C-alpha cells in the first residue's frame, strides 16, 4: 500500500501524476495544492477514494509546516514512500541574464528551490518519510549547465538559475539524508517539454507520455541512482 505525496496537483504534471496513480486502489495519495480556494474540479475528477487533497503553498514555509501537520494526522503512523516535488513556476520567461527581474528570480528561488528543501526537511523531522523513500525533484533541461549553454534563443534565465539550484539541492539532499534514512534515493527529473500551462503551446509531449515515463523511471530506482539527474525517458542528463 504505497503512499505518494505530490505537490502542485491542481493542474499540469502534478494533476497527471494523480490521474495515473489514482488508477490503482492500492495507492494512498496526498495531493497537495497551493490553495484549496482555487478551482479543484479537475483534481477532484481524477482523485480516487484514497486521495487526500491538502493545501500546501510551497512558496511559504508556514504553509509547508501546516501541511506537514495535516499529513501526519491523515497518515496516522504510515509514512511516505514517494515524494514528488512537482510544484514550480517559470516567471519572466523572456528575461535573459542581462535583463533579470529580481522579484521574479526571488519568487522562483522561493517556490522552485526553498519549497522542495523545506518540504523534505519538515517531513523528515516529523518522521513522515519511509526509510526507503524515493524523492523526485521536478527539474528541467534548463537546469543543466551543459544544455542551457546550447539553448537558442536565449531566455528563461531566472527559471534556469532556479532549476540549477534545485539540481544542487538534489545532490545535497542525496547525501544529507543518508544518516537519517540510509535507503533514501533522491533524484532530479527533466519531464521533457510537455503541453501544460508552463510548457506552452509549442510543447511536444502530452502529459500522459511524460508522466508515464517519469513513473517508470521512479519505480525502477535503486540505491545506485541516488543524487542523479534523469530525463523522463530514463536517459541520464549531464549536470
- The residues binding ligand NAP (CB under 6 A) are 7-8, 10-14, 34-35, 38, 57-59, 86-89, 111, 138, 140, 191, 193-194, 196-199, 203
d(CA 8, CA 6) in angstroms, rounded, equals 7
Closest CB to ligand NAP among residues 60, 130: 60
Give the CB-side neighbour count of residue 24, counting CA atoms within 13 A: 11
Closest CB to ligand NAP among residues 10, 226: 10
d(CA 37, CA 50) in angstroms, rounded, equals 21
CB of 56 to ligand NAP, least distance (A): 6
CB of 179 to ligand NAP, least distance (A): 28
Bridge-based pairing of strands 28-33 and 129-138 is unpaired
Closest CB to ligand NAP among residues 224, 233: 233
- What is the full DSSP assignment across 90-146? --STT--TTS--HHHHHHHHIIIIIHHHHHHHHHHHTT-EEEEEEEEEE--GGG-HH
CB of 107 to ligand NAP, least distance (A): 8
CB of 182 to ligand NAP, least distance (A): 28
SS3 for 15-71 is HHHHHHHCCCCCCEEEEEECCCCCCCHHHHHHCCCCEEEEECCCCCHHHHHHHHHHH
CB of 131 to ligand NAP, least distance (A): 26
Closest CB to ligand NAP among residues 158, 191: 191
Closest CB to ligand NAP among residues 25, 35: 35
Amino acid at each position: 500500500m504505497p503512499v505518494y505525496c505530490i505537490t502542485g496537483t491542481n493542474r499540469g504534471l502534478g494533476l497527471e501524476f494523480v490521474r495515473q496513480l489514482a488508477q490503482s486502489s492500492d495507492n494512498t495519495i496526498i495531493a497537495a495544492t497551493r490553495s484549496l480556494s482555487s478551482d479543484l474540479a479537475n483534481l477532484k475528477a481524477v482523485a480516487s477514494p484514497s486521495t487526500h487533497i491538502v493545501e500546501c503553498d510551497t512558496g511559504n514555509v508556514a504553509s509547508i509546516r501546516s501541511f506537514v501537520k495535516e499529513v501526519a494526522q491523515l497518515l496516522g503512523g504510515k509514512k511516505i514512500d514517494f515524494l514528488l516535488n512537482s510544484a514550480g513556476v517559470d516567471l519572466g520567461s523572456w528575461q535573459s541574464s542581462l535583463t533579470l527581474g529580481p522579484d521574479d528570480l526571488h519568487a522562483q528561488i522561493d517556490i522552485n528551490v526553498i519549497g522542495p528543501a523545506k518540504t523534505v526537511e519538515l517531513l523528515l523531522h516529523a518522521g513522515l518519510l519511509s526509510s526507503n523513500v524515493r524523492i523526485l525533484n521536478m527539474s528541467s533541461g534548463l537546469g543543466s549547465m551543459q544544455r542551457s549553454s546550447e539553448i537558442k534563443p536565449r531566455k528563461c534565465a531566472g527559471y534556469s538559475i532556479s532549476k540549477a539550484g534545485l539540481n544542487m539541492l538534489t545532490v545535497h539532499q542525496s547525501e544529507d539524508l543518508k544518516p537519517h534514512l540510509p535507503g533514501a534515493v533522491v533524484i532530479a527529473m527533466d519531464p521533457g517539454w510537455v503541453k501544460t500551462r508552463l510548457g506552452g503551446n509549442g510543447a511536444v509531449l502530452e502529459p500522459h507520455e511524460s508522466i508515464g515515463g517519469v513513473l517508470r523511471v521512479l519505480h525502477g530506482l535503486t540505491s545506485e541512482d541516488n543524487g542523479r539527474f534523469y530525463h523522463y525517458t530514463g536517459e541520464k542528463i549531464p549536470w
